[in-house]
């Protein structure tokens, strides 16, 4: 059986800091919960910089562009630069432009932040925003005029996701040559009011089932976001720590990228989830972190 992750504490923090020169933070559930900052996060980031460490922020949230993220960092008084911020909206535009090298238009199911990243890369797009309803009667739902220039369906979180949009998406996807890209597949996201909100994964999965096709995912736990960072920065995974709140995305991503992984317990995953993962796997479990700690606040307490 794989060993249980190690609690980060006064005894091991020195070696932990010495062996990592780069820290990659997931955002929601680590730095903040929606609009509520986790205590002492600005101080933690500042202190890591003072120790000569580099920091990056990587998020599966695809509703914001890097510019919009920077505004949020500024509002929460967390020191950050745009080229330290890597949301899956940026990864999607990067993938379409530089990895798949697609021409033509993108049919987007997503928010303005995702569209902004496409525009930054001069990628033509259609479909964002609300779609007109044809009516409740199934007899009224007929064919749509599909744009023959569409070469990709890009699926992010779309608060205007609807029957019409699903109808169009699956008909574009009837053609094998049309690419199917998803920003991420997080099924839920925690809110700061105790409710659980359905995430991008709920919508993407519905479209996948209807289209009988699987999307190429660009967000965590896939490793493209690491490629995006490496495209701009020299980074050694063996001296990097990925800090996240989700075993299925952040921790699996970090382990796949060969970084050290640290779970914080202020978001999606709990110690019970860790225990379950440990019991369910006889061999090395890629969803198990090397270390865990209660919160980013506790990490600041240890290193200050």
Name the residues annotated as catalytic: 26, 28
Q: Give the span between the Cα atoms of 162 and 9, in whole angstroms.
A: 48
Q: Give the span between the Cα atoms of 103 and 108, in whole angstroms.
A: 15
* Inter-CA distances, 213 with 28, 64, 176, 198, 290, Å: 29, 26, 9, 21, 35
Residue placing its CB nearer to Mg ion in the complex, 173 or 242: 242
Number of residues near Mg ion (by CB under 5 A): 5
Residue placing its CB nearer to Mg ion in the complex, 151 or 183: 183
Query: Contact with Mg ion (CB under 5 A): which of 23, 28, 110, 225?
Result: 28
Does residue 245 bind Mg ion (CB under 5 A)? yes
Q: Which of 120, 126, 178 is nearest to 152 (CA)?
A: 178
Does residue 248 bind Mg ion (CB under 5 A)? no
Residues of this chain, 266-285, that bind Mg ion according to CB under 5 A:
267
Residue placing its CB nearer to Mg ion in the complex, 131 or 245: 245
Rg from Cα positions in the chain: 20
Contacts of 148 (CB under 8 A, 6+ apart): none
Residue placing its CB nearer to Mg ion in the complex, 5 or 267: 267
**Span interacting with Mg ion, options 2-10, 144-152, 264-272, 275-283, rule CB under 5 A:** 264-272
Residue placing its CB nearer to Mg ion in the complex, 60 or 128: 60
Burial profile 19-42: b = 16 or more Cβ within 10 angstroms, e = fewer? ebbbbbbbbbbbbbbeeeebebbb
- Strands 125-126 vs 150-155: parallel, antiparallel or unpaired: unpaired
Residue placing its CB nearer to Mg ion in the complex, 131 or 277: 277
Shortest Å distance, C-beta 268 to Mg ion: 6
Does residue 87 bind Mg ion (CB under 5 A)? no
Bridge partners (DSSP) of residue 273 are none
Shortest Å distance, C-beta 34 to Mg ion: 11
Shortest Å distance, C-beta 124 to Mg ion: 31
- Strands 188-190 vs 125-126: parallel, antiparallel or unpaired: unpaired
Quote the tokens at residue 278: 């440990």
**Span interacting with Mg ion, options 105-113, 259-267, 272-280, 294-302, rule CB under 5 A:** 259-267
Count Cα atoms within 13 angstroms, Cβ side, for 118.
Answer: 30
* Inter-CA distances, 142 with 108, 126, 139, 211, Å: 21, 20, 7, 17
Q: Give the span between the Cα atoms of 116 and 90, in whole angstroms.
A: 9
**Span interacting with Mg ion, options 16-24, 25-33, 49-57, 225-233, rule CB under 5 A:** 25-33
Q: Give the span between the Cα atoms of 89 and 291, in whole angstroms.
A: 29
The CB-nearest residue to Mg ion is: 29
Shortest Å distance, C-beta 243 to Mg ion: 10
Shortest Å distance, C-beta 283 to Mg ion: 26
Shortest Å distance, C-beta 244 to Mg ion: 6
Query: Contact with Mg ion (CB under 5 A): which of 20, 23, 29, 73?
Result: 29
Query: Contact with Mg ion (CB under 5 A): which of 22, 26, 42, 262?
Result: 26
Give the residues lining the site for Mg ion (CB under 5 A).
Answer: 26, 28-29, 245, 267
């Amino acid at each position: 059986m794989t060993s249980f992750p190690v609690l980060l504490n006064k005894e091991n923090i020195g070696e932990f800091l010495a062996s990592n020169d780069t820290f990659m933070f997931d955002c929601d559930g680590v730095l903040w919960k929606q609009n509520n900052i986790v205590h002492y996060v600005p101080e933690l980031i500042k202190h890591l910089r003072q120790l000569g460490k580099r920091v990056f922020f990587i998020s599966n949230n695809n509703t914001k562009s890097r510019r919009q993220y920077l505004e949020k960092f500024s509002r929460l008084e967390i020191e950050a630069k745009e080229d330290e911020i890597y949301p899956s909206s940026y990864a999607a535009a990067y993938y379409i432009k530089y990895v798949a090298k697609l021409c033509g238009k993108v049919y987007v199911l997503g928010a303005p932040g995702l569209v902004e990243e496409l525009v930054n890369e001069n990628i033509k797009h259609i479909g964002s925003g609300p779609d007109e309803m044809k009516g409740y009667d199934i007899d009224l739902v007929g064919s749509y005029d599909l744009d023959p220039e569409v070469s990709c369906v890009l699926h992010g979180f779309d608060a205007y996701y609807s029957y019409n949009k699903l109808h169009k998406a699956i008909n574009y996807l009837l053609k094998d040559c049309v690419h199917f890209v998803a920003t991420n597949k997080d099924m839920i996201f925690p809110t700061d009011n105790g409710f659980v909100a359905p995430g991008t994964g709920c919508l993407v999965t519905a479209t996948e089932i209807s289209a009988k096709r699987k999307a190429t995912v660009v967000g965590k736990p896939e490793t493209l976001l690491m490629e995006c960072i490496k495209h701009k920065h020299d980074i050694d995974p063996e001296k990097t720590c990925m800090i996240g709140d989700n075993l299925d995305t952040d921790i699996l991503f970090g382990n796949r990228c060969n970084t050290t992984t640290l779970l914080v317990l202020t978001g999606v995953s709990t110690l019970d989830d860790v225990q379950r993962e440990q019991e369910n796997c006889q061999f090395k479990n890629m969803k198990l972190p090397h270390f865990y700690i209660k919160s980013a606040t506790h990490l600041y307490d240890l290193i200050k």
